[in-house]
Amino acid sequence: MEQEKLVNYITILGDNSMILGQRLGELCGHGPELETDIALTNISLDLFGQVRNYFQYAAEVEGKGRTEDDFAMLRLEHEYKNSLLVEQPNTDFAFVIVRQFFYDVFQRLLMKSLINSKNDQLAAIAKKSIKEVEYHFDFSSTWMKRLGDGTGESHERVQHAVNELWRFAMDLFKETETEKWAAEMGLGPDLNELKSEYLKVVKEICDEATIELPQEEVFQYGGKEGRHSEYLGYILTDFQYMQRAYPNMKW
């Protein structure tokens, strides 16, 4: 039972980065400028590097002969444990930045907590990832301020993206039974304790960006329990194609 809970917890940690990494990968060659295009691609690669570390560890803990590729590409839609936020589409550049910012603030707090995990492997992954995560936060928060306090159109687009995406952000903090167990065991943080700091940082950056957070707190939950939006299925159709079409293929 403990082994199964640990595998589930590792999977939750990996799925957010994997689905967001796939979303960012869709932007390769479509960035608004070359430097930003390369930056988004590099963030995607960073996220997939983290995913590999998580899923290699999950496969090792499970001990059933599955590989990192099995965890990544051979599950059904309801078996993915990512939050609703990261699967939202690349509507425009403002949506990309706002989605990234909402996630980066969360992941930065999460990695800082996981460094102190009683699980040595999770702590090691966090220590290895923290510099990347700090860069991701710097990138997205800078763009939030640049666009939000920029032209009239850029401000309007960022405000619209915030209005649309904020409802999904709190799904990151909706604790599952697995996450509650991990916090009790000292493997991961209590997400309720991270939430207040998250809201503080998000509000500070939004204030600098002259962006207002929605006042109506109507949030959508369920991603980490397998209840996803319609968008995840389309992501998995692309992501899983090669493994589904050519089972057990090797590079």
What are the pLDDT digits (tens) for 198-246? 999 999 999 999 999 998 777 999 999 999 999 998 888 888 888 888 8
Whole-number percent of the chain with pLDDT over 70: 99
Distance CA 135, CA 39 (A): 10
Residues in the chain: 251
Superfamily of domain 2-245: Ferritin, core subunit, four-helix bundle (1.20.1260.10)
Question: Rounded CA gap, 1 and 3, in Å?
Answer: 5
From CA 188, how far away is CA 177, in angstroms rounded? Answer: 13
Find the range with the poorest average confidence among 15-19, 36-40, 206-210.
36-40
Separation CA 161–CA 99 (nearest Å): 8
Mean pLDDT for the stretch of residues 122-145: 97
DSSP 63-117: -SS--HHHHHHSS-GGG----TGGGS---SHHHHHHHHHHHHHHHHHHHHHHTT-
pLDDT at res. 49: 96
First to last CA, the chain: 34
pTM over 0.85: yes
pLDDT in tens, 142-151: 999 999 999 9
CA 115 centroid distance within chain:
18
The arithmetic mean of pLDDT across residues 83-91, rounded, is 96
Round the average pLDDT of the chain to a whole number and report it: 93
Give per-residue pLDDT as tens, 173-185.
999 999 999 999 9
Q: Where are the domains of the chain?
A: 2-245
The per-residue pLDDT for range 89-123, each reduced to its tens digit, is 999 999 999 999 999 999 999 999 999 999 999 99
Please, which pLDDT band fits residue 251 given cuts at 50, 70 and 90? low
